[in-house]
Chain A
Amino acid sequence: MTESAANKEADGDTCHRVKPGRNGTVRNRQYRQPKSCCLDEAKVHQKTCNGGLYGRPFIESFEETPMLLAVLTYMGYGILTVFGYLRDFLREWKIEKCHIAREREEQRDFVPLYQDFENFYTRNLYMRIRDGWNRPICSVPGAKMDLVERVSHDYNWTFSYTGRAVKDVVNMGSYNYLGFAENAGPCTNAAAAVTLKCGVGVCSTRQEMGNLDRHEELEKLTARFLGVEAAMAFGMGFATNSMNIPALTGKGCLILSDELNHASLVLGARLSGSTIRVFKHNNMQSLEKLLRDAIVHGQPRTHRPWKKILILVEGIYSMEGSIVRLPEILALKKKYKAYLYLDEAHSIGALGANGRGVLDYFGLDPSDVDIMMGTFTKSFGAAGGYIGGRKELIDYLRCHSHSAVYATSMSAPVVEQIITSMKCIMGEDGTTIGKKRIRQLAENTTYFRTRLQELGFIIYGNKDSPVIPMMLYLPAKIGAFVREMLKRNIGVVVVGFPATPIIESRARFCISAAHTKETLDMVMHWHFTRLARHLKTSRPSERAEALDISSPPAPCDLAPSLSCVFIAVC
């Protein structure tokens, strides 16, 4: 039985006997209202108004890869592998110049320093399309940005800068959900004023001399924003997870972590020394099965009860665009008396009527979640992370967290940026800018998602998530898409294997409140309709042609498909 995206939402058996299709709902509450779907493809889109557990319809779709595209993707990787071996052979016999680090002649008989094969993918696949990643920018990453123009004369092994900049590239890749990535405005002015007063850096830890009054105000404000008793802020979002989870759990505790959790959560869980069990992505049956097994059997050898069970989930998963099924998790948590750690890195500020995150989105009580974590990087235009919860928890973390003891505290201008943007979102600065931005983001998200689906592309994720993965599937299309988009002055982020499953390469769009409807229209109508023909998807392409769109005279349409072929060959 083969796995695919749709199969992943099935029965919680971690073995291979997955049953396709069933959505992972909590077993006790089996009310599933009849699918009154006015949407076509009803078997893929599933509406769960789960007996009053959800206050609003929860619509997400992870359409299966079309079989033809899957087979073509494997063929694509197969051809690339064959050519990779050929090129390696040519490099070995010095017919072709070798750019990679090699062992010196004298060291040939020693144990090798490098595993040649581990580098195979990087040098034969990644290097071909490397110009699509790590592109330097020379402006603030707002709705439009300037890219440094670079060319490569040796097929992406080295880059040289032409000295020019590509101006006004539409930025569809930055996590700029509320548009606070700007270099003018009240946030910047406040940050500049504080820099003159308090300096640029703090050079000390929170526990020694690095505790400024701005930090205390930030933490009180964050606690008020989230609706919790207390909060603590840290200098890095990654470090918030990796340094605090070890302070919360240890040996003898159990961590139940979602399949697609971020590297920081995985690292924090591993550093803590607890037992880690992974449940299928957003699958409540799998989670409930693990919880029951854990409580019934206890610790592995001794069968003693676990000291703590901690469930690690994220608010929005940035690779899939899915929103966590929080009401069901809270129900499970209360039933089995586990703790919940919610990482709202992408969802804080981006979801909810007031921008307060995924709890606001579902209309739930913040005191139900034991540890609310989030980052200031995405929606607040700053850097750092926070943890919010009960006062005892935060007091404990102030003493025991690695960040508090060893890491430098946040610098004053960053703190000020967060304070100003948070007040703006809450409306406490006296304007309605925050409210407008939240509404603009929701409108942009809905508009972009519905239009992309109408055009016939396969989109993953929840209807309301501002992270939109658009499936590309073939390896050559990854490179072609990002280059074609840059030619049309649009900057996108693409991801491929091994960061995603082998047949699920995608382009990921992050919608921002700073995008205007005209920009989104331009991105879609002028450029995507052109590419829709080449990015064949599940729906018939006649749907795209049926749309009455007048477009400007376009550059050669054959370019994408030809470049696909060239990429494979050259």
Chain B
Amino acid sequence: MNVGTAHSEVNPNTRVMNSRGMWLAYLLGIGLLHVILLSIPFVSVSVVWTLTNLIHNMCMYLLLHTVKGTPFETPDQGKARLLTHWEQMDYGVQFTASRKFLTITPIILYILTSFYTKYDGVHFIINTFSLLSVLIPKMPQLHGVRLFGINKY
């Protein structure tokens, strides 16, 4: 669809999270997931919240920290091919508004989940590990770091 002009924006992926309505769409997506899980008849509220937390964190880890590169060709000769979406956001500038938002949302979801699971021990351990799996890759010290060579190329 590259009709006519080319932007000076070499990688549109960097601006996607800043676009209008993206944050709202993301929150609505979490809400939708939760409502779908709530509609399953024989699971309790605690399990539903834990499942919401787990699925949300798993999807976030997959989409933001596993998938690398861009789904379209960019004119920057592949600078972003080995970068995950989180690393591509805002061209690597840390602590922008979108990054803060995407860091805070799993934390708030975790707090809500802890409340609704009545601080049960097993749920706590599962949710905490899940939260850590999503928070640790977001740290600026881990920008571009691939542990044990996993997901390097």
Contacts and interface: CB of A to CB of B under 8 A. Distances in A.
A118 to B, nearest CB: 5
A263 B5 contact: yes
B138 to A, nearest CB: 17
B7 A70 contact: no
Interface in B12-43: 12, 15-16, 18-25, 28-29
Given A65-B20, A501-B12, A118 B73 contact: yes
B68 interface: yes
B21 A74 contact: yes
Interface in A227-281: 257, 259-263, 266, 278
Interface centre among A70, A126, A133, A496 (most CB of B within 10 A): A70
Contacts of B15: 3, 501-502
B12 A319 contact: no
A149 interface: no
A503 B8 contact: no
Interface residues of B, number: 34
B1 interface: yes
Interface in A100-152: 115, 117-122, 126, 133
Nearest to B9: A259
A439 B134 CA distance: 61
B8 A74 contact: no
A117 B3 contact: no
B97 A499 contact: no
A99 B151 CA distance: 27
Given A74-B25, A126-B1, A501-B15, A260 B7 contact: yes
Interface in A309-327: 317-319
Interface string B55-91: 0000000000001111111000010010000000010
A318 B5 contact: yes
B68 A262 contact: no
Contact of B4 (A71, A121, A319): A319
A495 B3 CA distance: 6
Contacts of A74: 21-22, 25
A115 B68 CA distance: 11
A318 B7 CA distance: 12
A503 B20 CA distance: 8
Interface string A489-524: 000011111110111000010000000000000000
Interface of A: 1-4, 16, 64-65, 67, 70-71, 73-75, 78, 115, 117-122, 126, 133, 257, 259-263, 266, 278, 317-319, 478, 493-499, 501-503, 508
